[in-house]
Amino acid sequence: MTSAFSDPASQYTWGGRFSESVSDLVKRYTASVSFDRRLWRQDIRGSLAHARMLARQGILDSEDLVAIERGMAAIHKEIETGRFDWSVDLEDVHFNIEKRLTALVGDAGKRLHTGRSRNDQVATDIRLYLRDGVDEAVLLLRALCEALIGLAEREAATPMPGFTHLQVAQPITFGHHMLAYFEMFLRDAERLLDCRRRINRLPLGAAALAGTTYPIDRAMVAAELGFEAVCENSLDAVSDRDFAIEFCAASALVMTHISRLSEELVLWMTPRMGFVRIADRFCTGSSIMPQKKNPDVPELARGKTGRVTGHLVALLTLMKGQPLAYNKDNQEDKEPLFDTLDTLTDTLRVFADMMTSGITARPEAMRAALADGFATATDLADYLTRKGLPFRDAHEAVGRAVKVAEELGVDLSELPLSALKELSPLIEDDVFATLTVEGALAARDHVGGTSPGQVRAAAIRARERLTGVLNGNSPAYTQSL
């Protein structure tokens, strides 16, 4: 039988104060190396910036700096090539790397941690990691937005039913519908870029919580690591994770938008609606029903949205009970954060591809659904209103027209003029231009409207606005009015 206390306390970095080792269970319970090792690049980068600053400030000898740089280069290679021996005994990514450094270069490795704590170290690592993550997510959002604009341009004049309450409401174009999602994802990109500004501040220098007694130069470290500024308060720097929470909130919104799009794709793909075809590479079959083609990608994305929203709630809950400053609770920030980032980027990657070349509109099916739903009823009411009838009375007259058409089993545009005249004497031969889908679309000719001309113009503006948001120098909203 192995003893639960088989490890000598002295192997730990803090061993000096301890007389008893932790049990294997506690070791496993408190360790984070299995998941925080993915921060290794950031950890090395942050350590090198710290060491260079220490040397510049005369806190570290230049020979020690050279040794640290040499050791870190070796460690970098070892990890990259899978030859690094990660040890759960060394708790986390920081201790694993530091111990290895000391093994490689001796006392210089032990001097690296001067004026620093794992508390400001880990906060720095996460911010560096997340900053790259945001940049990747924004690039993917850009690809998705471009795909939606492309679809909008191709389908600017393709009529489809617009729905409210999932009932056919009014004709819109498929292009207009795609641009609605463009708007959502453009705001998502704005939100992520805004959140990036608050991620991009340097915690190092806060040390454990109160700062350090060494004459450090935080601005130098910030500049070397590409941070815009330093975190101004040492307690806040090591303890808050609001930047991570913000990122998860922004991600949960992206996923919510993806989920709404997914829900529509699933509906549109049912043979009942058949508005779109989704390329086979995004679908799977059934193991028992040979005829099936299931929209797995949209369904999974819809499902994964719950997971990301869950991570947001987890991080909010993690934070809410913590007194200042650092508490070990914060170690629990990583798995939700990493999984949010992975889920978000995977989802965006597959959606950018699917919306670029995996979706084909089926205009015949859309038109058939329009014919079924009295989609031009509002246009008939507007027609009567233009002829002088108060809108409420027009609404009432058209309601009766729908009833008659329903009884006869025809669309409004198929009702004979005589039947329409019975409902209102104001109706004349010119009504039929209004009752066609093309007429209804062309009539909605203003900024934000669905007429094909407006959709084409909106797509052009969308490209400019996307560039503006990505360059951070232009408002994301419509043309200046």
Q: Which residues contribute to the site for ligand ARG (CB under 6 A)?
A: 32, 36, 92, 118-119, 122, 326, 328, 330-331
Can you count the helices (H) and strands (E) in the chain?
20, 6
CA distances to 116, 122, 317, 334, 393 from 330, rounded to whole Å, are 18, 10, 11, 8, 63
CB of 117 to ligand ARG, least distance (A): 7
Q: How far is the CB of 231 from ligand ARG (least distance, A)?
A: 16
Shortest gap between Cβ of 32 and ligand ARG (angstroms)?
A: 5
**Cα separation, 66 vs 76, whole angstroms:** 15
Among candidate residues 238, 239, 241, 244, the one with its CA nearest the CA of residue 120: 238
Q: How far apart are CA 161 and CA 151, in angstroms?
A: 17
**CA proximity to 251, closest of 325, 161, 347:** 347
Rank residues 37 and 367 by Cβ distance to ligand ARG and give the closer one.
37
Nearer to ligand ARG among residue 92 and residue 240 (C-beta): 92
* Cβ atoms 289, 274 nearer than 8 A: no
**Which residue number, 235 or 404, has a Cβ lying nearer to ligand ARG?**
235
CA quadruple 389, 393, 399, 405: dihedral, nearest 10: -40
Degrees (nearest 5) of the Cα angle 20, 21, 23?
125
CA 109 – CA 214 distance, rounded (Å):
18
165 is known as an active-site residue:
yes
Task: Give one DSSP letter per residue of 373-401, joined into a string.
Answer: TTTTHHHHHHHHHHTT--HHHHHHHHHHH
Which helix (H) or strand (E) segment holds residue 63: the answer is helix 62-80
Between CA 299 and CA 307, with CA 301 as vertex, the angle to 5 degrees is 115
Cα–Cα dist 117/209, whole Å: 9
Instruction: Compute the least distance from the CB of residue 93 to ligand ARG, in Å.
Output: 8
DSSP labels for 175-197?
HHHHHHHHHHHHHHHHHHHHHHH
User: Which CB sits closer to ligand ARG, 36 or 379?
Assistant: 36
Minimum Å distance from CB 73 to ligand ARG? 24
> Closest approach of Cβ 208 to ligand ARG, in Å?
7
CB of 31 to ligand ARG, least distance (A): 8
Please identify, using beta-carbon distances, which residue of 203 and 295 lies nearer to ligand ARG: 203
Q: Is 286 an active-site residue?
A: yes
Catalytic residue among 34, 62, 286, 474: 286
CA dist 341 and 334 (Å) reads 10
The closest of 443, 266, 272, 261 to 368, measured between CA atoms, is 272
Q: Which of 10, 165, 287, 446 is catalytic?
A: 165
Nearer to ligand ARG, 326 or 374 (CB): 326
Residues across the chain: 481
- Of 30 and 474, nearer to ligand ARG (C-beta) is 30
Least distance to ligand ARG, CB of residue 327, Å: 8
Task: Name residues whose C-beta falls within 8 Å of residue 423's C-beta, 6 or more positions apart in sequence.
Answer: 397, 398, 400, 401, 404
Amino acid at 234: S
Residues labelled as active-site residues: 165, 286
